[in-house]
Homo-oligomer: A and B are copies of this chain.
Amino acid sequence: MAEKPTPDATRRSARSRRAIFDAALALVGEVGYPRTTIEGIAARAGVGKQTIYRWWPSKADVLLEAFMDLGEQAARAAGQEPYEIPDTGDLAADLRLVLRATVDELINPAFEVPARALAAEGVVNDQIGAEFVAKLLEPQLQLYVKRLRSAQDRGDVRADVDPRIALELFVSPLAQRWLQRTGPISYDYTDTLVDYALHGIAPR
Given contacts A123-B180, A129-B181, A180-B122, contact A166 B116 (CB under 8 A): no
A117-B125 Cα distance, complex, nearest whole Å: 10
Tell me whether chain A's interface is mostly helix, strand or loop, or mixed: helix
Residues of B within 8 A of A124 (CB): 32, 116-117, 120
**A158 and B123 contacting across the interface, CB-CB below 8 Å:** no
A132, A141, A173, A192, most chain B CB atoms within 10 A: A173
A47-B122 Cα distance, complex, nearest whole Å: 34
**A202 and B129 contacting across the interface, CB-CB below 8 Å:** no
Given contacts A182-B138, A204-B204, contact A123 B119 (CB under 8 A): yes
- Cβ-based interface call for A88 (8 A): no
**B168 and A202 contacting across the interface, CB-CB below 8 Å:** no
- Cβ-based interface call for A42 (8 A): no
Residues of B within 8 A of A133 (CB): 180-182
- Cβ-based interface call for A203 (8 A): yes
Partner of A169, one of B123, B177, B181, B201: B201
**B197 and A201 contacting across the interface, CB-CB below 8 Å:** yes
Partner of A202, one of B141, B158, B201: B158
Interface residues of A (CB under 8 A from B): 32, 91, 116-117, 119-124, 126, 129-130, 132-133, 137-138, 141, 148, 155-158, 161-162, 164-166, 168-169, 171-173, 175-177, 179-183, 189, 192-193, 196-204
